[in-house]
Structure 1
Amino acid sequence: MSDQQGFSPRERRASFTLAGIFGMRMLGLFMIMPVFALYGENLVGFSPLWVGIAIGAYGLTQAVLQIPAGWLSDRIGRKPVIYGGLALFAAGSVVAALSDSVYGVVAGRVLQGSGAIAGAILALAADITREENRTKAMAIIGVCIGMSFAAAMVAGPLLAALFGLSGVFWTTAVLALVGMIMVRFLLPESVSKGQIRDVTAAPELFGRLLKDKQLLRLDVGIMLLHMTLTAVFVAFPLSLANAGLVPEHHWWLYLPALILSFVLIIPFLILGARRNMNKLLFQASILVMMVALVLMALGQGKLWLLAVAMVLYFTAFNFMEASLPAFLSMLAPAGGKGTAMGIYSTSQFFGAFLGGVLGGALFQQLGGAGVFLLVALTMVFWFWLSAGMANVSRVRSHILPIGVKIESESARSQLLQRLMALPGVHEALIIPDEGAAYLKVDGNIFELDQAKRLINL
């Protein structure tokens, strides 16, 4: 039992277990980023271009398969898809660990990315949690993903120093197996609710959402953000080594920089939410990232300047990584958040792949400084693109089960009109096949209990 506002024990266990599984998988994907350029030199075929491809290769298969994997989980269940995805991730890790060539590592990374379980995990979280607790469950998963990136910046250099590059991949294989054990013994059983439009994509909405200029700005933004991330980590570890910081001590810079960046973004997140300054602060973050990239280019051989640049980079990155999904949630139409998030995530993973390829190609031709400067130029384009962003306000989404099945079109139309008449309701959508009403509301004035009473009359 639990109070109305809190998690039940079942919801709490499911939320933290799913967050742990998601986080361990992302940890495995991220750990290679700060070390591959340094520890892959003995691999057959090693070159800056192939470094970039290896770092970003997972993003290509992830981008292609994550929406279909979510649809598959609607048909065959969440757990089979999660088991299969973790098995593919483990297999890819083993392929990479046993490879003596960069081409084998790339094949392993491609296989890792094919274990696209993000959609199934989010859908299972939605299946198990009540609507009033779903946002909290998703937030726990999101925090765990952020923590996994921070942990990867520390664990990657430490593991590579102790066990070599293959040791990093063997660790990711073990993490995948631990994830499968967690699915088996810690995840509560659930009945799949099929498609839940706040977490899974609806094919009929793709055309409409791809034409939405506000959502398209967010999709391009997350693509550019993750393009910079993989491009930076093609070159930055070598810049640190050239500045005199031995590879096994790189985490001495990454960990304090990440901690400081998390501290720095908190007041800005609060300020943006309370003062309706989201757009202004977001554009400021783009400029901060551009400055950080220029400092990286100027800081070749200067460890203190590289450290300052990384603090600025992580601060801007973490602010935008937290802000973009929130903007998307506010801008997506009622019943369209899952589809919008599917397109957004596909853009994110494609950006990771693109950044790896471009970063490797640029490093091969222009060196590290050239990578940082040319990526900085993309921030100019992003800043221009962001000028047309809406300054989103306090908009929230709700999914309400319809207590009585509504057979006739006229009855559904009447219910829709009554919902739209409630204070604070911007959009309402009734999906008879799901037995649910999707609402977009102003969180300052909307009363959830009033809507529930209306729907269950």
Structure 2
Amino acid sequence: MHDLHSERMSGSETRAAGGLALVFAFRMLGMFMILPVMATYGMDLAGATPALIGLAIGAYGLTQALLQIPFGVLSDRIGRRPVIYVGLLIFAAGAVLAANADSIWGVIAGRVLQGAGAISAAVMALLSDLTREQHRTKAMAMIGMSIGLSFAVAMVAGPLLTRAFGLSGLFWTTAGMALLGLLIVAGFVPRAAGHLQHRESGVAKQALLPTLRHPDLLRLNLGIFVLHAILMASFIALPLALVGQAGLPKEEHWWVYLTALLVGFFGMVPFIIYAEKRRQMKRVLLGAVAVLLGCELFFWQFGSSLQTLLLGTVVFFTAFNLLEASLPSLISKVAPAGGKGTAMGVYSTSQFLGAALGGILGGWLFQHYGLSGVFLGCAALALLWLAFAVTMREPPYVTSLRLPLSAAALADAGLAERLQAVPGVADAMVVADEAVIYIKVDTQQLDRTSLERLIEPAPATC
């Protein structure tokens, strides 16, 4: 059996991972750059009210949530690239529509259309087609990092670009980045020899119902739903608090977000290391949700000066970054063998629905109850999450493997059951039409020799 970490990524794998990470980053930049500026600059648009500003911020989440899984399934049928090209063109068209809008409704329509370019699942599937098994986790991590980085850049670039070119300039930049992403896929990302059927990176219909019934996956889906609802709602209140309560001109907000994101990023690292190394993920998750709840109450009670708002925002982003990084890792651990792709599809849909609800709810609360209403509403959401998260079990600390099987091994009806008896194997599932077995193992307890003896008939190809 081959060593899963022996060789380096090939040149074409590096190009695929790097190119697709850039496509993700450009698209996410376009989604996120509006967050820090819409509440302050959007009020100049005809017909703007706080509730409609909230709808403009969250609207993309509705179409993104609806189309995310169907676009992934479509990419299995007609190919990854056509779906990605069409998705990026739809996204660019939405940005152009918003750039030319002179009313809040035009911007909302543009954001709805942007969200309809739901290519995340197709990009992940193309990445699976272009990378070998032993490097896929690394490639997925590159995309994860690009999303985190694009969020950080967006918080700073959004206010700076809007200050220089206005809201329409921001949307034109977004359209340009989508087209640049299209050129990267067309010219830089290598061609795939064919589709890889892969249950870890795509949605499998058979796994959908068990995923929706899985109690701990449901808790994690509620978590990402609430996290993004709080983020969107907070970004209606925070920019307005910085202007109204702290007297900081909207052109200067970028340095507050830059400070908060930098400190927040380095602040979360020790907690992530502690959670993984000491196997204390539940404790760290609960702590971060409690801190998020505390931040919203702190904003409500003390958010009247620049110093307190800056302090609260720094702590808020430390907790937010920690949760944003931990939740996908928890999904990977908790999802059954061969079910990670489906679990991540449902998780992403929950995330976008949360973003939609947060924008709409935050705008409505501000219109009717002011800043206090938004902060207390976010605190209530965090409290709801905490109540559900307390009851989750400590996750299994396992790694997913996907190993090829020979015809003889495939014909062995009891293979999965015997594998589950091997010390350190938490779950196993044979998928005949892929000629592979998906296994979840605890690397600290795994009896590697017994595992290899059982799967020895497999050809050592990846």
TM-score by length of 2: 0.95
Q: In structure 2, what is the Cα distance between the partners aligned to 1:138 and 1:53?
A: 31
Q: In structure 2, what is the Cα distance between the partners aligned to 1:289 and 1:29?
A: 23
Q: In structure 2, what is the Cα distance between the partners aligned to 1:336 and 1:214?
A: 14
Asked if residue 453 in structure 1 is aligned to residue 453 in structure 2, the reply is no
Describe how 1:62-101 pairs up with structure 2 within 5 A: 62-101=64-103
Deviation by residue 1:392-429 (Cα, 9 ceiling, x = unmatched): 2421111122244767xxx2314334533444222111
For 1:345, the equivalent position in structure 2 comes to: 348
Q: In structure 1, what is the Cα distance between the partners aligned to 2:26 and 2:295?
A: 29
1:299 Cα offset (Å): 3.6
Q: In structure 2, what is the Cα distance between the partners aligned to 1:39 and 1:226?
A: 22
1:42 Cα offset (Å): 2.1
Q: Give SS of 2:429's match.
A: strand
For 2:391, the equivalent position in structure 1 comes to: 388
Q: In structure 2, what is the Cα distance between the partners aligned to 1:192 and 1:55?
A: 38
Deviation by residue 1:332-374 (Cα, 9 ceiling, x = unmatched): 0011111111111111100000001100100000111210112
Kindly tell me: are residues 97 and 405 of structure 1, through their superposed partners in 2, closer, same or farther at Cα, counting changes over 3 Å?
Answer: farther
Give the conservation status (yes or no) of the 8 Å contact 2:63–2:115: yes
Give the conservation status (yes or no) of the 8 Å contact 1:78–1:192: no
1:194 Cα offset (Å): 4.5
Counterpart of 1:144 (choices 134, 143, 146) is: 146
For 1:431, the equivalent position in structure 2 comes to: 431
Partner letter of residue 87 of structure 2? Answer: G
Between 386-395 and 82-91, the greater mean CA deviation after superposition? 386-395
For 1:196, the equivalent position in structure 2 comes to: 198
1:153 Cα offset (Å): 0.4
Q: In structure 2, what is the Cα distance between the partners aligned to 1:403 and 1:334?
A: 19
Q: Give SS of 1:428's match.
A: strand
Asked if residue 316 in structure 1 is aligned to residue 319 in structure 2, the reply is yes
Deviation by residue 1:287-313 (Cα, 9 ceiling, x = unmatched): 111111112223443110000110111
1:455 Cα offset (Å): 2.8
1:389 Cα offset (Å): 1.2
For 2:250, the equivalent position in structure 1 comes to: 247
Q: Give SS of 2:413's match.
A: helix
Describe how 1:242-391 pairs up with structure 2 within 5 A: 242=244, 243-391=246-394
Partner letter of residue 260 of structure 1? Answer: V
Q: In structure 1, what is the Cα distance between the partners aligned to 2:422 and 2:304?
A: 62
For 1:16, the equivalent position in structure 2 comes to: 18
Give the conservation status (yes or no) of the 8 Å contact 1:300–1:369: no
Q: In structure 1, what is the Cα distance between the partners aligned to 2:207 and 2:417?
A: 22
Q: Give SS of 1:399's match.
A: strand
Q: In structure 2, what is the Cα distance between the partners aligned to 1:454 and 1:325?
A: 33
The alignment yields a C-alpha RMSD, in angstroms, of 1.8
Q: In structure 2, what is the Cα distance between the partners aligned to 1:107 and 1:192?
A: 37
1:74 Cα offset (Å): 0.8
Deviation by residue 1:66-115 (Cα, 9 ceiling, x = unmatched): 00111111111111111111000000000000011111111100110000
Q: In structure 2, what is the Cα distance between the partners aligned to 1:79 and 1:405?
A: 36
TM-score by length of 1: 0.96
For 1:123, the equivalent position in structure 2 comes to: 125
1:384 Cα offset (Å): 1.1
Give the conservation status (yes or no) of the 8 Å contact 1:78–1:123: yes
Give the conservation status (yes or no) of the 8 Å contact 1:415–1:455: no
Q: Give SS of 1:398's match.
A: strand
Q: In structure 1, what is the Cα distance between the partners aligned to 2:455 and 2:201?
A: 21
Between 431-440 and 93-102, the greater mean CA deviation after superposition? 431-440
1:193 Cα offset (Å): 2.5
Partner letter of residue 40 of structure 1? Answer: G
Q: In structure 2, what is the Cα distance between the partners aligned to 1:54 and 1:151?
A: 21
Partner letter of residue 15 of structure 1? Answer: A
Give the length in aligned residue pairs. 453
For 1:57, the equivalent position in structure 2 comes to: 59
1:330 Cα offset (Å): 0.5
Q: In structure 1, what is the Cα distance between the partners aligned to 2:370 and 2:32?
A: 23
Deviation by residue 1:102-140 (Cα, 9 ceiling, x = unmatched): 111111001100001100111111111111111111111
Q: In structure 2, what is the Cα distance between the partners aligned to 1:318 and 1:32?
A: 19
Q: What is the percent sequence identity of the aligned residues?
A: 49
For 2:162, the equivalent position in structure 1 comes to: 160
1:192 Cα offset (Å): 3.5
5+ residue gaps, structure 1, are none
Partner letter of residue 442 of structure 2? Answer: D
Describe how 1:162-241 pairs up with structure 2 within 5 A: 162-241=164-243
Moved over 6 A (4+): none
Give the conservation status (yes or no) of the 8 Å contact 1:74–1:192: no
Deviation by residue 1:160-192 (Cα, 9 ceiling, x = unmatched): 000000011000000001001100111000033
Q: In structure 2, what is the Cα distance between the partners aligned to 1:418 and 1:73?
A: 36
Give the conservation status (yes or no) of the 8 Å contact 2:409–2:455: no
Q: In structure 1, what is the Cα distance between the partners aligned to 2:80 and 2:436?
A: 20
Give the conservation status (yes or no) of the 8 Å contact 2:43–2:53: no
Q: In structure 1, what is the Cα distance between the partners aligned to 2:442 and 2:124?
A: 24
For 2:34, the equivalent position in structure 1 comes to: 32
Q: Give SS of 2:74's match.
A: helix
Partner letter of residue 285 of structure 1? Answer: A
